[in-house]
């Protein structure tokens, strides 16, 4: 057959259909359950490339037979294993070498991707695809900082993580070095980018960067020097408890929640600001001179990553500004009455401009890293970011992050609902007109930290990762209930004087029973919060999305599903907080243009846990928990 005719034949056979080897196409299984005639909805993920490749029909299946390798063609990797012999081995006389395989050497041509895709091919050996857009995410948490790079399918391509110093000057005090936080971010960016480039990618492919951060943690700095005036006071810090008690005695304290969505407590940033004004001379001096800058961690990072005083980018997104108690939850702007109630003079302390969570210009660009010049286009507080990363874009969707503590967010739609059942009202995200959502929030003070307690204080097991296995050595909790109120109970109880108590111990009790009761405590508190969320919202939850370290335990997730009576959805890729920041940034630059484009992101590898006990049994078990909660009151000295 003439060379030109062969070339024409292969051009005419160019199609785009699912490949069983590459696990792409319709559905999680790459189209195997829906037939082979559907159009491609993903990209070739492992061997094939994001271009339309020549295909050939084998039986009832249609698979890509040829792959692009630099300037020539070769067989699809799955077929190559079956048909290509080693170079020094002659083909069997009974099975002559397939003529089609030889065409890869006869046709030294370069395939062009079709015009309806913006992705260039990559080689089978792992070369880069220069036109694929990636998004970076800064995840600045309480104990560590990370930078992750995501592709458009929501997969982590590269990551770098650093821990930083935890400062505890006095009991109940918790601080971070603000400059170390910035340094850790810059180092993580550079580390991840270096890994990214060793994979054959270019840093120019990272089109934007998003930020997610620990909320409420507060930094104050001098606007004339750009230098922090004191350590960052962390959200867990309780030094303001006496100050908060005094504030609660003021006229109008009970009305604050109606305006800002938060009750007075040691958590919001305002208490930390007031304490610093009262107790740190450098802060008070800057305030009196009118050069004091106040910000949550997002504001501080954006300011410093842009170069600090030279560019003076001074902004915050609503999900972070909502945690200060200065922002009106209904208008998403600062409320003069709130600021005045706390007796703060806005002429003496600068508040960050509130901008959308996803914005192509407001956050500036990176300055002193390998990604210098790359725009920062998204920002979300960590719990809001986790909700976005779980694709909780519409009302009625909820997530729970099982970490040191637990944080539940329930999307209540475009209008705020002020809780009457012990919950907070906060901003889920603000992606622009028609894409602003609110959430009810409930927090659990002790979750993963209870596991650490059993390891460090009681020596139950040698590591936290083995507690679930210990709990599985028994069939149930043996009648034990552990109220893990080491520092009181948070939502929806808000019992300050509750303390950790174990009920139901008998001579029969074993270590496994205590281990199981410890894990169940988080599940019981989650149920209590979800019950309150349903009462406030008027809508029943149909599924709970989960992430965080404790969700790695199948036992915990199954227990959770049993107690709340609905499925629990655990994703395969659990970096949902960072993914949420990447989504916020990606929306601003067009990597994703709609929520619908994200519906298939992070579906592969998920596990659904469904209830295995009756509602009556779940109710009986929860009743025992509620009785134990009441008996845990009044134990603080």
- According to DSSP, residue 14 is labeled B
Residues in contact with 449: Cβ distance below 8 Å, sequence separation at least 6, in sequence order: 404, 405, 486
Q: Are β-strands 436-444 and 424-430 bridged in parallel, bridged antiparallel, or unpaired?
A: antiparallel
Q: What is the pTM of this model?
A: 0.78
Distances from the Cα of 227 to the Cα of 267, 363, 575, angstroms: 24, 20, 32
CA nearest neighbour of 421 among 257, 536, 525, 526:
536
**Distance, CA of 159 to CA of 181 (rounded, Å):** 17
Spell out the SS3 assignment of 47-65: CCCCCCCEEEEECCEEEEC
Domains of the chain: 3-106 (no CATH), 134-382 (3.30.420.40), 391-570+606-637 (3.30.420.40)
Query: What is the rounded average pLDDT of the residues 547-551?
Result: 90
Q: What is the pLDDT of residue 2?
A: 53
Digit-coded pLDDT (tens) for 506-523: 999 999 999 999 999 999
Digit-coded pLDDT (tens) for 186-220: 999 999 999 999 999 999 999 999 999 999 999 99
Please report how many Cα atoms fall inside a 13 Å half-sphere around the Cα of residue 118, on the Cβ side.
9
Burial class of residue 33 in the structure, from the number of CB atoms within 10 Å of its CB (0-12 exposed, 13-18 middle, 19+ buried): exposed
Model confidence at 154, in pLDDT bands (50, 70, 90)? very high
- Residue-by-residue DSSP string for 259-313: HHS--SSSSSHHHHHHHHHHH-HHHHHHHHHT-EEEEEHHHHHHHHHTTGGGT--
**Distance, CA of 635 to CA of 92 (rounded, Å):** 83
Digit-coded pLDDT (tens) for 322-380: 999 999 999 999 999 999 999 999 999 999 999 999 999 999 999 999 999 999 999 99
The answer to whether 26 and 38 are in contact (CB under 8 A) is yes
**Distance, CA of 53 to CA of 107 (rounded, Å):** 15
Distances from the Cα of 288 to the Cα of 279, 284, 344, angstroms: 14, 6, 11
The answer to whether 395 and 412 are in contact (CB under 8 A) is yes
66 vs 223 pLDDT, higher one: 223
Query: What is the rounded average pLDDT of the residues 548-555?
Result: 92
Q: What is the pLDDT of residue 5?
A: 52
Residues in contact with 58: Cβ distance below 8 Å, sequence separation at least 6, in sequence order: none
254 vs 467 pLDDT, higher one: 467
The answer to whether 576 and 389 are in contact (CB under 8 A) is yes
Q: Which of 91-95, 129-133, 555-559 has the highest mean pLDDT?
A: 555-559
Q: Are β-strands 376-381 and 206-213 bridged in parallel, bridged antiparallel, or unpaired?
A: parallel
Query: Can you give the C-alpha Rg of the chain in angstroms?
Result: 28
Q: Are β-strands 349-351 and 66-69 bridged in parallel, bridged antiparallel, or unpaired?
A: unpaired
The answer to whether 211 and 298 are in contact (CB under 8 A) is yes
Digit-coded pLDDT (tens) for 52-84: 333 333 333 333 433 333 333 344 444 333 333
Taking 60 as the threshold, does the pLDDT of residue 109 lie above it? no
Average pLDDT of the chain, as a whole number: 83
Backbone torsion region of residue 489, taken as left when φ is above 0, otherwise alpha when ψ lies between -120 and 50, otherwise beta: beta
Q: What is the pLDDT of residue 29?
A: 34
The two three-digit tokens of residue 439, written as one number: 């959430």
CA nearest neighbour of 586 among 437, 374, 436:
374
Backbone torsion region of residue 178, taken as left when φ is above 0, otherwise alpha when ψ lies between -120 and 50, otherwise beta: alpha
State the residue for tokens 């397939």. Answer: 98
The percent helix, strand, coil of the chain (3-state, each to 5) is 35, 20, 45
**Distance, CA of 134 to CA of 131 (rounded, Å):** 9
**Distance, CA of 314 to CA of 538 (rounded, Å):** 38
The answer to whether 19 and 30 are in contact (CB under 8 A) is yes
Which stretch of 123-132, 195-204, 493-502 has the lowest confidence by average pLDDT?
A: 123-132
């Amino acid at each position: 057959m003439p060379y030109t005719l062969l070339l024409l034949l292969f051009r005419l056979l160019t199609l785009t259909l699912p490949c069983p080897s590459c696990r792409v196409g319709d559905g999680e299984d790459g189209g195997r359950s829906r037939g082979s005639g559907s159009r491609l909805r993903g990209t070739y993920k492992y061997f094939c490339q994001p271009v339309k490749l020549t295909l050939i029909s084998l039986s009832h299946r249609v698979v890509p037979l040829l792959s692009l390798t630099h300037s020539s063609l070769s067989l699809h990797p799955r077929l190559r294993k079956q048909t290509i012999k080693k170079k020094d081995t002659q083909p069997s006389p009974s099975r002559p070498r397939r003529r089609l395989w030889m065409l890869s050497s006869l046709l030294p041509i370069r395939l062009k991707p079709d015009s309806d895709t913006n992705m260039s091919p990559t080689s089978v050996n792992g070369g880069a695809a220069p036109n694929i857009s990636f998004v970076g995410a800064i995840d600045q948490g309480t104990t560590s900082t990370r930078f992750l790079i995501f592709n458009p399918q929501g997969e982590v391509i590269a990551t770098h993580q650093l821990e930083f110093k935890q400062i505890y000057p006095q009991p109940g005090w918790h601080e971070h070095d603000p400059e170390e936080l910035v340094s850790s971010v810059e180092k993580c960016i550079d580390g991840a980018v270096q890994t990214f480039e060793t994979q054959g990618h270019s840093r120019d492919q990272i089109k934007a960067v998003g930020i997610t951060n620990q909320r409420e943690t507060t930094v104050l700095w001098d606007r004339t020097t750009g230098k922090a005036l004191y350590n960052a006071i962390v959200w867990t810090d309780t030094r303001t408890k006496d100050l908060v008690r005094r504030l609660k005695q003021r006229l109008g304290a009970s009305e604050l929640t109606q305006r800002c969505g938060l009750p007075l407590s040691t958590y919001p940033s305002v208490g930390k600001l007031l304490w610093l004004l009262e107790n740190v001379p450098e802060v008070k001096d800057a305030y009196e001179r009118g050069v004091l800058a106040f910000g949550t961690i997002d504001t501080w990072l954006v300011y410093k990553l842009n170069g600090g005083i030279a560019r003076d980018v001074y902004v915050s997104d609503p999900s972070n500004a909502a945690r200060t108690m200065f922002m009106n939850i209904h208008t998403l702007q600062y409320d003069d009455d709130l600021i005045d109630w706390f007796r703060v003079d806005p002429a003496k302390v600068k508040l960050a401009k509130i901008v959308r969570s996803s914005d192509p210009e407001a956050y500036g660009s990176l300055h002193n890293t390998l990604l210098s010049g790359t725009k920062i286009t998204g920002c979300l507080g960590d719990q809001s970011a986790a909700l976005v990363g779980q694709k909780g874009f519409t009302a009625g969707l909820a997530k729970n992050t099982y970490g040191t503590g637990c944080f539940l967010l329930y999307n209540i739609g475009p209008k705020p609902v002020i809780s009457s059942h012990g919950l907070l009202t906060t901003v889920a995200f603000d992606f622009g007109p028609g894409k602003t959502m609110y959430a009810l929030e409930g927090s659990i003070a002790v979750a993963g930290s209870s596991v650490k307690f059993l390891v460090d204080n009681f020596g139950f097991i040698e590591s936290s990762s083995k507690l679930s296995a210990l709990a599985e050595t028994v069939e149930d909790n043996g009648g034990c209930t552990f109220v893990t109120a080491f520092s009181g109970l948070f939502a929806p109880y808000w019992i300050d004087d509750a303390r950790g108590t174990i009920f139901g111990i008998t001579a029969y009790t074993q270590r496994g029973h205590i281990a199981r009761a410890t894990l169940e405590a988080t599940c019981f508190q989650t149920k209590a919060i979800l019950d309150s969320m349903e009462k406030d919202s008027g809508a029943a939850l149909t599924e709970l999305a989960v992430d965080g370290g404790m969700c790695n335990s199948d036992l915990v997730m199954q227990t959770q599903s049993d107690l709340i009576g609905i499925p629990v959805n655990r994703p395969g890729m659990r970096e949902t907080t960072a993914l949420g920041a990447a989504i916020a940034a990606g929306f601003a630059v067009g990597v994703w243009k709609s929520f619908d484009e994200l519906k298939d992101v992070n579906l592969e590898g998920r596990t659904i846990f469904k209830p295995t006990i009756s509602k009556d049994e779940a109710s009986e078990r929860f009743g025992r928990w509620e009785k134990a909660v009441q008996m845990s009151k009044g134990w603080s000295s």
